[in-house]
Structure 1
Amino acid sequence: MPVLHQVTVVCHQFPPWRMGGLAEYAERCLHHLHRHRGDLRLRLYTMNHPGDQPRYGVSGGVPVVRPRMPRWLGRRLFDPGRALSARGQGLFALALLTFNLGTFLGLCRGRRRGSVVAVHDWQSTPVGILAATLLRLPVVYHVHNTEQTMAPRPDVADPLRIIGTCQRLMAALAVLVVVPTPEMGALLVRHGFPAAKIRVVPHGYEDPPETDGTAPDGATAPDDRAAIRAELLAAAGFPADSRILVFAGRLSPVKGVPTLLRALPDIVRWHPTTRLFLLGTGLPGTDQGAVVDRLVAELGIADRTHVYHRHLPREQVRRHYLAADLCLFPSTYEPFGLVSVEAMALGTPVLLGPGFSATIGTDGVRPTALRLTADRPDELARLAGNLLADKAYAAELGDRGRRHVERSFDWAASVDAAVAVYEEAVTARRPVPGDREGIPAGRRTVPRPTVADPAGEPR
């Protein structure tokens, strides 16, 4: 029986290139995988963007390969003004094709018994499809985001259905499919993915290095929080006695930003000292940032709102979470939502949108965060207003959320679960086209695993 010796990870995003949470996830996952499973040979293939990165490097002890990309292409990628134009999308497609073909050539040279190829998201599915069909390597498909093909109102659509085709073909050819939440698994099943292949592996959370204000139990001393609050309020020009709301993420309808802004006037009416910080930027090539500014002006809340219109360093984001009375992430679609876990880990109470998994908002017995049932400003205002009015409950909810993160989102456990999936994949037969179930050899009598739907009912 084959034994797992090597994991080749293919992820188009990796630091220093960060367009969202995928790059940060890939970095942390690889570092912890190397730290906890030093017996495995690891290698990462990622895009050479920005194009001045060395072709070969090392990150956290893991070899990193960036296949060559023509310099003219690297210079033209992600021009903020043209990212979503026909030309911009064509350049991105060409860059992805170059990356996938270069990675495939690397896989051809690096094949060995006991190898698994871990493909992350649709951008890397072409090399996964080639590896499964031409090289007959076991492929595990990690699905992090299906917004463009499965969300009700995506920021960017898939009019030619190219992305959806890549997703479905990769799912058919992969030995197993990994998702971060049961709700994501249920969504894939509703869109035709084989339930027998799906494995749930939650993401982990990594505590930042301790600072002088960090208490022994992982919380942060009240005096330190007060100092951070005073500094942030002064920098934004807000009164020192303000109540602070914080949002971090893409400034888009999918993330619930318009709903949050429309709820703010009611929150301010009940709690006049409330101020809102928006950390993030709109999708490159869109007018999402300008739409937010117009809505702020129309609602008359410009003196209550501070919009950064840029991505802040991780430590600055953490400082805003520490200063907040409440962090709000009202997403209508959220594959996992690491920002919410990071805020909860600091003991700050959190409000989640209807798109979040129940695994984050509850410990199975009690709520660990407030959670919207719908994308409605009145419900958001009511929940936020009630929490701001009840400091004792806010402190209790924050503490409950912190303990939930400590128990449920451990990187060591996440890495162990991922390796178990890779070991299962390397011992299974390779699925062939037309095999919809993809059940490993010798396991056809094993019942399909139950995948819960978003309402918590088994399918």
Structure 2
Amino acid sequence: MRMTYFVDEYPPFFRGGLGTYAMEITRQFVKLGHTITVFSRNTGDDPTRDVWQGVEVHRPLLMDIVDVLPVYIPEDIRMWPLEAQEFFGETLLYNFLSASKLINRLVARDGRKFDIIVSHDWLAAVAGIITKKNLNIPFVFHFHSTEQGRTGDGSPTVKEVERMAGLKADLIVTVSYAMRDELVSLGHPEHKIRVVYNGVDAEKYRPNRFPEEEVREFRKKIGVENSPMILFIGRLAWVKGADTLVRAMPIILREVPNAKLVILGKGEQESLLVQLINSLGLQDSVITHFKYVSEEERMLYYAASDVVVFPSKYEPFGIVCTEAMAMGKPVVAGARGTSGLKEQVVPTGENVCGFHVNPYDPEDIAKFVVILLNDEQLRRKMGKNARRRVLECFTWEIAARNTISVYKEVMQGDNI
């Protein structure tokens, strides 16, 4: 299969989980014998064309068009802060230039053939829509989240881009059944939607990744020492719930006085979290690392932890949750609204690997964290089950095979 692949994030540029997804899934496509041509955002110093682990990557050079945007863009975008308008302008250019290079150079001039167009989220939707119109080949649009879900309401323009992409796509792929239900509630036709779970590199993320001595030294380095360690990893935004987890800490400390919470990530909640920690007198119990770290170091954080908590209020699929499970860690996961975490984490029965909680309720979060911190045998059982569940359901090999199956379906026009 010859794919053209529009995705905003691709190595060396990462903004979040989408970059990890694109990197891992395309690598698997190559292993399965497919040809992928990626069009991704250029951050300024990236090569405009290269080959990354067997994947051809194009990154058109961008420019600042913010001065002319008011003439052409919808009213709601004009109300955005200047930095956000610049981002929107870059996003438009990335889409237009990518589609133009594909249509006019690779296909028209060079005579190359493609079997399918793939776009991911609104940031790359326009390129897919334009290419579909000009080349008339099957178009698959991936929803990893929605504007309404991410923000509670959000930009009418972004929502219209998402609506149009869903309308023009031959098939829609999304990351969980919870996300499918959200898309149906927003008016996308159910018969066009397919669910394919994301994955994790289970050979890389494994319980015995690091020697015990290295883990002990790391715990000492980050200030945990021998204390029970609760870990939060993620973007520091309202939907991720780090603030609610901090509010749960006084309740946790009543039962487990020496517990330590480690927060790893960056985002708009950094100053709020510092204020909250200080106001609750948690300076000795909450350790904040407001930074991005290498993948190797991120795995050390998982290895050092006893319990990993993701109290997300909106999480179509949690890649970091899957990483923690692959490392053999029990997980406490938010389970309200659009929550793929509910599908990832088994909360009862012989295969139990974590707990579901109300992400708005600090007491509910604290209750289940305390249960795990006080029961080492349960933590071990859940950790083993979590690892097994990843191997059965959430590897990149499984995700790639299932995705290719959907792409073949749309190419053959089966029941669409």
Q: Same fold (TM over 0.5)?
A: yes
1:310 aligns with one of 291, 299, 318: 291
Of the structure 1 ranges 367-376 and 20-29, higher mean CA displacement relative to structure 2 is found in: 367-376
1:219 aligns with one of 202, 207, 219: 207
Tell me, yes or no, if the aligned pair for 1:114 and 1:426 is still in contact at 8 Å: no
What is the deviation of 1:234? Answer: 2.3
Tell me if 1:326 matches 2:307. Answer: yes
Amino acid at match of 1:62: V
Tell me, yes or no, if the aligned pair for 2:207 and 2:303 is still in contact at 8 Å: no
> What do the CA deviations read for 1:162-204 (whole angstroms, capped 9, x no partner)?
1110111110110000011111111100110110000111112
Tell me, yes or no, if the aligned pair for 1:183 and 1:357 is still in contact at 8 Å: no
Q: Which residue is equivalent to 1:124?
A: 124
> What do the CA deviations read for 1:328-380 (whole angstroms, capped 9, x no partner)?
11101112111011111111111111234332012996432211145210001
Tell me, yes or no, if the aligned pair for 1:43 and 1:64 is still in contact at 8 Å: yes
SS of the aligned residue for 2:135 comes to: coil
> What do the CA deviations read for 1:121-152 (whole angstroms, capped 9, x no partner)?
11111111212233322110011121x3224x
Tell me, yes or no, if the aligned pair for 1:363 and 1:404 is still in contact at 8 Å: no
Tell me, in whole angstroms, the C-alpha distance in 2 between the residues paired with 1:364 and 1:266: 24
How many residues align? The count is: 395
Tell me, yes or no, if the aligned pair for 1:140 and 1:175 is still in contact at 8 Å: yes
Tell me if 1:188 matches 2:183. Answer: yes
Pairing 1:30-69 to 2, within 5 Å after superposition? 30-36=26-32, 38=33, 40-49=34-43, 51-69=44-62
SS of the aligned residue for 1:266 comes to: helix
Identify which of structures 1 and 2 has the higher relative contact order when contacts are C-alpha pairs closer than 8 Å and 6+ apart: 1
Unaligned residue ranges in structure 1 (runs of 5+)? 74-83, 211-217, 429-439, 445-459
**CA distance change for structure 1 residues 356 and 423 in 2, over 3 Å: closer, same or farther?**
closer
Q: Which residue is equivalent to 2:167?
A: 172
Tell me, in whole angstroms, the C-alpha distance in 2 between the residues paired with 1:181 and 1:9: 21
Tell me, yes or no, if the aligned pair for 1:277 and 1:307 is still in contact at 8 Å: yes
> What do the CA deviations read for 1:1-32 (whole angstroms, capped 9, x no partner)?
xxxx3111100111222111111110111111
Tell me, yes or no, if the aligned pair for 1:33 and 1:415 is still in contact at 8 Å: yes
Tell me, in whole angstroms, the C-alpha distance in 1 between the residues paired with 2:62 and 2:306: 46
Tell me, in whole angstroms, the C-alpha distance in 2 between the residues paired with 1:219 and 1:243: 18
**CA distance change for structure 1 residues 253 and 382 in 2, over 3 Å: closer, same or farther?**
same
Unaligned residue ranges in structure 2 (runs of 5+)? 67-78
What is the deviation of 1:88? Answer: 0.7
Q: RMSD of the TM alignment (CA)?
A: 2.2
Of the structure 1 ranges 348-357 and 52-61, higher mean CA displacement relative to structure 2 is found in: 348-357
Q: Which residue is equivalent to 1:434?
A: none
Q: Which residue is equivalent to 2:405?
A: 420
Q: Which residue is equivalent to 2:70?
A: none
Tell me, yes or no, if the aligned pair for 1:229 and 1:324 is still in contact at 8 Å: no
SS of the aligned residue for 2:385 comes to: helix
Pairing 1:234-249 to 2, within 5 Å after superposition? 234-238=220-224, 240-249=225-234
Pairing 1:252-401 to 2, within 5 Å after superposition? 252-282=237-267, 286=268, 288-354=269-335, 355-362=339-346, 366-401=351-386
Tell me, yes or no, if the aligned pair for 1:330 and 1:351 is still in contact at 8 Å: yes
Tell me if 1:9 matches 2:5. Answer: yes
Tell me, yes or no, if the aligned pair for 1:179 and 1:200 is still in contact at 8 Å: yes
What is the deviation of 1:303? Answer: 0.9
More helix by percentage = 2
What is the deviation of 1:60? Answer: 1.2
Tell me, in whole angstroms, the C-alpha distance in 2 between the residues paired with 1:71 and 1:150: 29
